[in-house]
Each structure stands twice: as C-alpha cells, then as structure tokens.
Structure 1
Amino acid sequence: MTSEVPAALRRLWRLPESSRLGRPATLDVDVIIAAAVKIADRDGLGGVTIPKVAKSLGFTGMSLYRHVGSKDELLTLMADAAMGTPPDLDTGDWRQGLRAWALAQREVFRRRPWLTRVPTSGPPSGPHGIAWLEAGLAILSRTRLDWAHKVGILSLLNGYVVHSVRQHSELAEGRAEGQGQAEAERDYGRALARLVDPGRFPETARLFASAAFENAPPDTADLDFSLGLELILDGVAARI
C-alpha cells in the first residue's frame, strides 16, 4: 500500500498524493525539480534555495513546501532527476561493462558538476538511481560474486567517479584565470622542487626533480581517471 511508503519516497517515485493538499494545477513536483535543476545548471548547487526556486516559478516559498518537504529532499529529488537513466551497456564482459558504466556516470557529472556536491544521505532510492544500480548489477550478474561484493564494487566505482570529477572541477576553479592545467602543474612542480628538502623527503624530492611535472600533457584528467579506474578494475578481477 502506498500509504505505508514514507512521503519523501512517494514524491521521489511520483506516487499519487491525496487531493486534499489543494495543490495549484500549475505547480507540482516535476515543475519544481525542473526549475531547481535549471538554477543549479546555471548557478551551481549553492544557487539553489527554496525561495529562489519558488520565485522563478512565480510562487512563494511556502507553496513549494506543499510538494517538497525540505531543502534536503529537494536536493535528493534534483539529483535523481539530473542523473537520468543509464545508456544501454554491454553485460557480456564485466570489465568492459563496468568501465562503460563508470565512464557514463562521469559524463553526467562532468556535464553537471554540481551533482558531485549533493550531500549523500543514503543508498540509491529514486527511480533513476535504481536504474543505474540495476545496470551495474546486470553487468556483474555473470560473475560469482555475492551481493555484498557487487554492491560494494558499484559503490566504490561511483565514489571514485564523483571524487575524480569534483577534484578536477575544484582544481580548475583554483587555477589563475586563463591558466591551463599543464602550466599549473609545471608551476607547482618548479615551486615545490625548491621547497622540498631531499634529506627530509627523499622520494618526494626525486619526484619533483623528475620530468613528471615539466612534461605534463595539456590535459591529464582523462589519463588520471583511466589509471585509477583500471586499478580498481584490476582489484575486481583479482577478487572474481
């Protein structure tokens, strides 16, 4: 019975609510989420507030609380909607499938980096989150791993993708205006080479004395991401 489902989950899954709430016909959960996502895409997650979303729709903040229980619930609704559904992924080869699953999530997060800043309040619970979980489980279904391992692997991969995209975004924001990644890495390497004492930090000093930073490619984000991803998949392969 839908009455046994918590109100927040009913709204997340768009289950019908009682008409006694007296909702205006022009305002519902989907309209609110679309407006909130639009603001986040334009201004980032920090730009999303209940009053701002309400104002963009021509309503008061109190009107939104008839449909969204809190700011935290709004963020959960936004995140699930913004993730969308996963693409069709090959489930014949687990490694190829998991790689594609991670890359597909990365594409979503890079398009909407504000998603990486939405607080995680629990495991996937919305229809889109469950769709991504289902896609990952389908990829792992031909392995002999138990449920704990399957869920743990998907959680690890998702966390890696989120952290990678967020870190890259924050590093870009922290660079001087007009400064590219390669230039920033060269400046970093040259500065630290002067500061790091070989007697105290011998291995780190060797790193900064090498050509690792001096010869950094224009954009290492893809290379760094692929390296980490393959290391995780190597671990999965060993466990399988």
Structure 2
Amino acid sequence: VQNGLLNTFLPAHFKYVMDPSIEAIGQYDPVSGKLNASDQLFFYQSSEYAAIRGSGLDQLTAIHVNNQPAQDVDIVDPETIYFKIPDQTIGQLKISVSNASDKSDQVENTSLSIMLKSGIRANGIHSFARHDDYLMLLDSSSKKATIYTTRDSENPVKLSSILFQIDIQHIAMSDTYALFVAESNQEIMIYDLSNIYAPVLTNRIVSPIVDDIHKIVLSN
C-alpha cells in the first residue's frame, strides 16, 4: 500500500484450489500406501479403506459416501486422498467430492460396492436390515426378503425367505418382528419372527401416510 512517500508491504500468498476430479478410485492399503484402482469391491464390516486419485484434492476436500461424511479421511500425496469404507452399508456406494461450500463443484462416482463375505453380491440387493446377529436382505427384484444369521460365523447362514406379490420399498427388523413397506398400495406388513425359520404374517396396515415413509425402524 502506498500513500505518497509512505508505503507498507505485507508478504502473503493465495492458495488456488482446482475443482476436484476423480481420475482413479479403488482399494487402498494404509500400510503400503498404495491405491489399487482395479479392485473396487469391498467386504461387509471389514474396516477397509478406499482412495481417490485426481486433481484438486487436499485436506479441505469434503468426501461423502452415500450422502454421509466419510470417516478417517487423510491425504496420501497432492493427488491422492483416502477414507474408511462404512461398516453398516451393503451395495453400491455413491462417492462424492467437493471443495466448494455450496457443492457447486461436486463430482460423483459409483464404481465401488460392498458384498457379504459369503459371496452374496451386494449389487443384487435392494436394501438390508440388521438386528444383533440377524441380517435381512431384500433382493433387487424387491419381492424376496431373506433372513441370515452371523452368530456362529462371519459368513451369513440362510435361515428363511419371504416372498411377496408386490414391490417392497423399505424393511426393518427386531428380535421378534420384521416390517415391510409397500408404497404402491400404501401397505405395511408385519411378520412374526418367533420362529425365525418360518416367519408368519400377523398384520397388515393400509394407510395413505405410507407414501411419505422414507426410513423405518422397529423398536421393542
């Protein structure tokens, strides 16, 4: 700044951050520090990591997994950033990165997916619900729910299946009941799981509020 013969100077610098990009994404090994972009399949509850390589990535980059902030995010180098794969998720992952607070520069990638260790491919799953050692999967047809147990093994063991004539949109379970929401005819179906090997339909609830249901939770 100069005013006549008087002037002052303060050294400083500006940091220009590019719009982020995802040029490679895949498994990341924190020990070796290597990204394997050819491996994009993860296992359920395995505490694995993924990494992104691209321009415009730094410690201020916001990473979201299925619209939730990523956990354990860290920088590998000026072009690579890694994060922890969420444990309570199955299926295809939507990864988004952004540097702008309004997310105007956000880019997305859906190459990563999670499967069960038993070999059940997650991309064939519409949704899932879990309670203690029980895992219930709704397949991609939205007409079949299968209940598994992981009590004696990390590999899920099939216990029973429930077939539907209509598409199911949302599911939930507790230790005694399973609940299914069919938005097409505004119906909620409740199954008794007292005999986990042969679930029994005990109640049907028809209500217009079903159209507004986006998530359900069962509590005893």
Bigger RCO of structures 1 and 2 (CA < 8 A, at least 6 apart): 1
TM over 0.5: no
Q: If each structure's helix is expressed as a fraction of its own residues, which one has the higher value?
A: 1
More strand, by proportion: 2
Between structure 1 and structure 2, the one with the greater Rg is 2
Sort the TM-score into its range (normalised by shorter chain): under 0.3
Q: Structure 2 length normalisation: TM-score?
A: 0.26
TM-score w.r.t. length of structure 1:
0.24
